[in-house]
Structure 1
Amino acid sequence: MFERYDPRNWDISTQSVIDTALGLSIPVLIALALHWLGFRLLARLTRRSTTNVDNCVVDAVRRPARWAMIAIAISISASADALVGRGWDLAAGFLVPALLGWVAYAVIDGIVAGLEVDAAASADPVALRARRTRVSILGRTTKVAIIIVTVSLILFSIPAVKQIGVTLMASAGLAALAVGAAAQPALKSLIAGIQMAMTQPLRLGDMVKVDGEVGRIEEIRMSFVTVRTWDERLIIVPTIRFLDESFENWSRISEKLTGPVFLHLDPATEVGPIRAEFERFVAGHELWDQRTVALLMTEAYPESMELRLSVSAATIGDLWTLRCAVREHMLDWLRREMPGALIRHRLEVESANARVTGG
């Protein structure tokens, strides 16, 4: 069956090699020229469009398309030259699926890159994160599917592997159970990733709190999500956990938040002047977004009282900075203007020594 593919059975002479080289070079040169001309025309057309998707797709497909054109030229030459035909018959089963998979992968890569560039022009940060998340997850899912299909087609070009596939198909029930059991974690992660893209409980760039740690979503993959904390640590969390367990998302709808600053003061302290100074300071601060400013006594104990100073800001980072500024300013103001409001627990060393010595 494979005798015609055995090089020992090929009738090869110097003249046949020269003819084959000429027969290959001319179609390949024509294919490269057509590729260059076609992409020059595509580049002109894409420059006139208002979206970046077509530009990115053309740039991404340029290289795999060049090799695809060469493969087409070789296949045309194979129909006219027996020597090329024999070699092409051997390689086509591997090269054709690989080139098709490469082109498809490049198309998806270009679409994802173009959509991300277009999304970056959005003025709404929440919409930007939502679009980037959806594009990233669906793009990765499609790429994985392309790789799996491509590798499968290449493997089925091998006779031994193809025979194994036929045998497995004959016992499809047992094979399905075995494959299903082995692929359950991968399929679960794949479904979780697609569900994450559709429902979007979190997005790229969201500020979340998980396992007691607060950080921004840096990357969302099929099997895991990376969270970057303020001190630059990277937390790896399985994707399925964000669907099965609860977590805090501080910026899903908007980054506008209200945060507290707590002061524990002497219970005899007059609250009115503290409230007035707090409101005066916040009103003049550049990070306050004019939504929330309030001072409430939330607890009263025999030896202390708790004041909650609430402020708001346009972003989470601004809120953190504003809270730190309020805390520092209010304590400094209390030390200067109302020192009696600060609780002191001091050990009077001299008096204690005097009592011990009986002096």
Structure 2
Amino acid sequence: MENVLRPLIVIGGSVVLALVVGWLADRLLRRADARDRETPLWGLLRRCRIPLNVVMLTAILRGSYDQIKWRPVQEHDAGLGRFLTLVLIGASSWLVVRIATAVVESSYTRYATSTRDPARVRRVRTQVTLIQRVVSAIVMVVAIAAMLLTFPAMRAAGASLLASAGIVGVVAGVAAQSTLGNLFAGLQIAFGDVVRLGDTVVVEGEWGVVEEITLTYLAVRTWDERRLTMPVSYFTSKPFQNWSRGGVQMTGTVFFHLDHSAPIPLMREQLAVILKECPAWDGRDFSLAVTDTTPSTIQVRAVVTAKDADDIWTVRVTVREQLVAWLYEEHPYALPRITTQDRPSTPLPSPAVEDRRP
């Protein structure tokens, strides 16, 4: 009877104790969150309840499993202890990552709510995201190393590995040159403010918005919902257009090729009417002027403004569409004409023939 009750008491008591500790921690965090609504940290820390329960349960079982006094457990004592140690290391790294994520997200949320500059908020968001990924990568590497050191064979090989670390480091650096370059480029982007999440960029002739930045690659979402995945080293070694640099307000141009008789003053008045009815126009400025001329046409440029890249695209296409329609309906003579009349088939008389006429 004791062989049955002892395992049930040890395992059941460990589970109950772990659940009680997790429940008490969640209760305290809930009260702290209700008392201080302006600090989102307490609410974010409540997401750590599951890894905390796993850590507590594994730690309790790791310290009390030898008290079970059960033959299968005693026969596999070393293997069971190593397994619980591995689970404890993995769960502890999971808990550390969750806590670090909660602290970083809380800091970013408080900064975003107290800052009115969208550009600075996007910059901090980019830095926070990359810092979070770096912390997660470091914790993962340390956890894997700790798991490997629990095996006697790996512990014995540690001295030889440390002795050859210099040669291995040189070989790994040469082999992973591209990866390391992208890694350092990602850190340079995060803290050098080269490009941020939400920036509007033009890369390789493609217009899009920066959607994701990692330590190795950067994803740009184009206007037609495609994703351009590029190494982050591209943005530190090649030129690209960043329309959100220094502010999100933008100025756009619309060009028209018209006849010389185009009514420029009336077009300027009609442009003002079109912009007043366009919700995407921010009301800052507009203009219309003749910027070039050719023997057959003139080039008219309309300049408009908007609060961001998406709205400037809407304003440009609206002005182009409605102004061309207005010219076609009200002033069709202003549109460029192409001469299709054939030349006369009979040749003109030469001067000598005209001289012989009476």
For the aligned pair, the TM-score class normalised by the smaller chain equals: 0.7 to 0.9
Choose 117-126 or 240-249, whichever is displaced more.
117-126
Q: Alpha-carbon deviation of 1:292?
A: 1.9
Aligned to 1:91, which of 68, 78, 83? 83
Tell me whether 225-234 or 132-141 shows the greater mean CA deviation: 132-141
Determine the structure 1 residue equivalent to 2:207. Answer: 214
Describe how 1:282-321 pairs up with structure 2 within 5 A: 282-321=275-314
Residue of 77, 83, 86 corresponding to 2:64? 77
| 1:253 alignment counterpart | 246
For residues 295-326 of structure 1, the C-alpha deviation after alignment (integer angstroms, 9 at most, x for no partner) is 12211111111111101112222221111121
Q: Is 2:49 the partner of 1:58? A: no
2:157 aligns to what SS in structure 1? helix
Q: Are positions 1:262 and 2:255 aligned together?
A: yes
Task: Give me the whole-angstrom Cα distance separating, in 2, the residues matched to 1:225 and 1:196.
Answer: 10
Aligned match of 1:25? 12
Query: Relative to 1, partners in 2 of residues 1:276 and 1:160: Cα closer, same or farther, differing over 3 Å?
Result: same
For residue 98 of structure 2, the aligned residue among 78, 93, 106 is: 106
Residue deviations 1:158-206 (CA, integer Å, cap 9, x gap): 2222333321212232222233333433332222222211122111111
Query: How far is the alpha carbon of 1:116 from its aligned partner?
Result: 5.8
Secondary structure of the 1:345 match is: coil
Structure 1 counterpart of 2:31, from 44, 47, 53: 44
Where do 1:153-232 residues align within 5 Å? 153-232=146-225
Change (3 A) 1:330 1:149: same
Distance 1:189 1:106 in 2: 26
Pair 182,165 (structure 1): closer, same or farther in 2 beyond 3 Å: farther
Aligned amino acid, residue 104 of structure 1: V
Change (3 A) 1:333 1:90: closer
Confirm whether residue 342 of structure 1 aligns to residue 335 of structure 2.
yes
Give the secondary structure class of the aligned counterpart of 2:39: coil
SS, match of residue 326 in structure 1: helix
- What secondary structure is seen at the aligned counterpart in 1 of 2:324? helix
CA deviation string 1:208-253 (max 9, x = no partner) = 0000000011111111111111111111111111111111111133
Distance 1:82 1:200, change over 3 A: farther
Is the CA contact 2:182–2:233 (under 8 Å) kept in the aligned structure 1? Answer: yes
Residue identity matched to 2:191 = M
Alpha-carbon distance in 2 for matches of 1:90, 1:257: 61
Does the CA-based 8 Å contact 2:44-2:106 persist in structure 1? yes
CA distance in 1, matches of 2:262, 2:164: 83
CA gap 1:35/1:305 in 2 versus in 1, 3 angstroms: same
* Corresponding position: 1:331 with 2:321: no
Question: Is the contact made by 2:93 and 2:140 (CA closer than 8 Å) also made in structure 1?
Answer: yes
Partners of 1:241 and 1:103 in 2: how far apart? Answer: 35
Gaps of 5+ in 2: 347-358
- Give the count of matched residue pairs: 339
Question: Contact 1:267–1:305 at 8 Å: present in 2 too?
Answer: yes
Q: CA deviation at 1:283?
A: 4.3
Percent identity over the alignment is 31
Q: Is the 8 A contact 2:62 2:85 kept in 1?
A: no
1:43-79 Cα offsets, whole Å, 9 max, x none, are 21122221223311222x1101001111222234257
For 1:195, give the aligned amino acid.
Answer: Q
Aligned partners of 1:321 and 1:89: how far apart in 2?
65
User: How many angstroms does 1:257 deviate by?
Assistant: 0.6
Partner Cα distance (1:186, 1:163) in 2: 30
Change (3 A) 1:187 1:82: farther
Cα distance in 2, alignment partners of residues 211 and 335 from structure 1 = 36
8 Å Cα contact 1:334/1:341 also seen in 2: yes
- How far apart are the structure 1 equivalents of 2:106 and 2:56? 24
Q: Give how far 1:112 is off.
A: 4.5
243-252 or 27-36, larger mean C-alpha shift: 27-36
Q: Which amino acid aligns with 1:341?
A: A
Q: Could you say if the C-alpha distance between residues 158 and 183 of structure 1 is closer, same or farther in structure 2, counting changes exceeding 3 Å?
A: farther
- CA RMSD in angstroms comes to 2.7
Name the aligned partner's letter for residue 65 of structure 1.
L
What residue identity is the alignment partner of 1:164? A
Give the Cα separation in 2 of the matches to 1:242 and 1:56.
33
Question: Shift of the alpha carbon at 1:268?
Answer: 4.0
User: Which string of whole-angstrom CA distances, capped at 9 and with x for unpartnered residues, describes residues 94-125 of structure 1?
Assistant: 23321221111222333355456556656543
Deviates more, 1:334-343 or 1:233-242: 334-343
